[in-house]
Amino acid sequence: MKKMKIWMITILMFIPNIVLAYSNQIIVGGQNIGINIQSAGVLVVGFYKVNGNDVKSNPAIQIGDYITKVGTTEVSTINELTNAIETNMHDNEVELTFNREGKEQTATLSLVEQDKVFKTGLYVKDSITGIGTLTYIDPESKIFGSLGHEIIEANSNKRIEVKTGSIFNSVITGINKSSDGNPGEKKASFKTNEVYGTISKNTQYGLFGDYKATLPDNKRMEVAKPEEVKVGKATILTVLEGSEIKEYEINITKINEYNKIKNISFEITDKELLDKTGGVVQGMSGSPIVQEGKIIGAVTHVIVDNVRTGYGIFITTMLEEGEN
């Protein structure tokens, strides 16, 4: 059987029942958002040779490590990293403190001089910017949720750890259409001065934070429980041009209550949507899924080998994660 390519996304004990604080009716999203996250540390995303040789560290620095200190100086940006290396370098070496899979470690990095400049041999990144779709806003707590999956840095394939971040207005300027084996994407222009909210966490269930702007006039809908979701007709809300949110028809083909994030399998049936996008495209993640007047979930993944199909996550999962 041909394997499908998919993109994006114990110990037992008795505990008391937890009453979740999210509202039974929420503001349904659909609008396109710009996303910017500043990482909690400087992320190592690759290596380069200096004078034809690898720059070495002991123990070895790896792709996906978050550098948090140089010597005793804390760093969270590339500029801070560069300045701290100049200040803390001794005998062409610096001591780095880094986070790897949640554990703090240290390493000594040997620098190499090239053209009178000391080089680290490390490609690093301190922020990431992209687009997605706002899924919901809780009108009582002002917590928002979007994407329905985590943001991964492409080179390291690691989740971006959030130090600070924001969501802001963005306008769709075009679509690169999807075709089987080649998912497309929304193209957008950013309005970074029109900030909607601040990001607090990036998890496998989505991007969450506090909505700071005036609440939009989007329709409020009742939240569907997982057992209410069924196979059959539904719709998604998303933006394909400018800032206009439109509703498009899909068909839910399967429900999986036991998968953490791929709860809803669906196929796009709307001719207008297929004509414009060819199928599910990047930037559509977070688009609300609605069935029988209730919000049931959000689009999360495209199936690469059949881009007319994809997956969605239950809205209750996102709401619970947003409140935690």
Catalytic residues: 149, 270, 285
How far the first Cα of the chain sits from its last, in Å, is 40
How far apart CA 252 and CA 289 sit, in angstroms, is: 10
Residue entry with tokens 């000391």: 118
Angle 252-257-261 from CA coordinates, rounded to 5°: 80
CA-nearest of 157, 53, 46, 61 to 109 is: 61
Q: Which helix (H) or strand (E) holds 166?
A: strand 162-176
DSSP secondary structure of 19-72 = -----SEEEE---EEEEEEEEEEEEEEEE-EETTEE--EESPP-TT-EEEEETT
Bridge partner residues of 57 (DSSP): 109
How far apart CA 60 and CA 214 sit, in angstroms, is: 48
How far apart CA 246 and CA 268 sit, in angstroms, is: 14
How far apart CA 148 and CA 78 sit, in angstroms, is: 29
Q: Could you tell me the CA-to-CA distances from 163 to 39, 75, 77, 263, 323 in Å, in that order?
A: 5, 12, 11, 30, 19
How far apart CA 219 and CA 104 sit, in angstroms, is: 46
How far apart CA 262 and CA 26 sit, in angstroms, is: 22
Give yes or no for a cis peptide into 226 (omega within 30° of 0).
Answer: no
Token pair listed for 189: 């222009």
